[in-house]
A = this chain, B = another copy of it.
Amino acid sequence: MASSLLTRQLTISLQQNLRLTTTVCRYVSKTATKTESEFEYDSPSMKTQVPGPRSQELLRQLGDIQNVGAVHFFCNYEESRGNYLVDVDGNRMLDVYTQISSIPIGYNHPALMKVMTNPNNLSAFVNRPALGILPPENFPEKLIESLLSVAPSGMTRVQTMACGSCSNENAFKAMFIWYKNKERGHNNPSEEDIGSCMINQSPGCPDLSILSFMGGFHGRTLGCLATTHSKPIHKLDIPSFDWPIAPFPRLQYPLEEFVRENAQEEARCLEEVEDLIIKWRQKGKPVAGIVIEPIQAEGGDNHASPDFFIKLRNIAQKHGCAFHVDEVQTGCGATGKFWAHEHWGLDDPADVVSFSKKMLTGGFFHKNELQADKPYRIFNTWMGDPSKNLLLAEVLNVIRREDLLAEVARSGKALLQGLYALQAQYPHILSSARGQGTFCAIDAHKSTVRDSIMLKARNKGAFLGSCGEKAIRFRPSLIFKEYHAHQVLNILNDVLAEHK
Whether B129 contacts A77 by the Cβ 8 Å rule is yes
A474 at the interface (CB under 8 A from B): no
A207 at the interface (CB under 8 A from B): yes
Whether A127 contacts B237 by the Cβ 8 Å rule is no
Query: Which residues of the other chain, B, contact A130 by a CB distance below 8 angstroms?
Result: 99-100, 102
A156 at the interface (CB under 8 A from B): yes
Whether B243 contacts A169 by the Cβ 8 Å rule is no
Of the listed stretches A216-224, A345-353, A397-405, A433-441, chain B binds: A216-224
- In chain B, what residue has the closest Cβ to A143? B65
Q: Bound complex: CA of A381 vs CA of B97, how far in Å?
A: 12
Q: Bound complex: CA of A391 vs CA of B128, how far in Å?
A: 11
Whether B377 contacts A233 by the Cβ 8 Å rule is yes
With A74-B134, A76-B137, A372-B67: A197-B235 Cβ-Cβ less than 8 Å: yes
Query: Which residues of the other chain, B, contact A262 by a CB distance below 8 angstroms?
Result: none
Whether A74 contacts B173 by the Cβ 8 Å rule is no
Chain A interface extent, by class: 35 or more
Of the listed stretches A103-111, A420-428, A444-452, A480-488, chain B binds: A103-111
Query: Which residues of the other chain, B, contact A189 by a CB distance below 8 angstroms?
Result: 232, 236-237
A83 at the interface (CB under 8 A from B): no
Of the listed stretches A26-34, A116-124, A311-319, A330-338, chain B binds: A116-124
Whether B72 contacts A134 by the Cβ 8 Å rule is yes
Query: Which residues of the other chain, B, contact A108 by a CB distance below 8 angstroms?
Result: 123, 126-127
A310 at the interface (CB under 8 A from B): no
Q: Bound complex: CA of A173 vs CA of B75, how far in Å?
A: 28
Whether B113 contacts A117 by the Cβ 8 Å rule is no
A344 at the interface (CB under 8 A from B): no
A66 at the interface (CB under 8 A from B): yes
Whether B235 contacts A204 by the Cβ 8 Å rule is yes
Most buried by B among A156, A166, A356: A166
Query: Which residues of the other chain, B, contact A457 by a CB distance below 8 angstroms?
Result: none
Query: Which residues of the other chain, B, contact A243 by a CB distance below 8 angstroms?
Result: 200
Q: How far is the CB of A246 from chain B (nearest CB, A)?
A: 11
A 31-66 binary contact with B (CB < 8 Å = 1; else 0)? 000000000000000000000001000100110111
Q: Bound complex: CA of A61 vs CA of B140, how far in Å?
A: 7
Q: Bound complex: CA of A389 vs CA of B208, how far in Å?
A: 39
- In chain B, what residue has the closest Cβ to A125? B116
Whether B113 contacts A127 by the Cβ 8 Å rule is no
Q: How far is the CB of A241 from chain B (nearest CB, A)?
A: 6
B156, B162, B237: which contacts A206 (Cβ < 8 A)? B237
Whether A71 contacts B165 by the Cβ 8 Å rule is no
With A234-B376, A380-B164: A99-B71 Cβ-Cβ less than 8 Å: no
A 159-174 binary contact with B (CB < 8 Å = 1; else 0)? 1001111100110110
B99, B172, B198, B238: which contacts A129 (Cβ < 8 A)? B99
Whether A58 contacts B140 by the Cβ 8 Å rule is yes
Whether A164 contacts B381 by the Cβ 8 Å rule is yes
A139 at the interface (CB under 8 A from B): yes
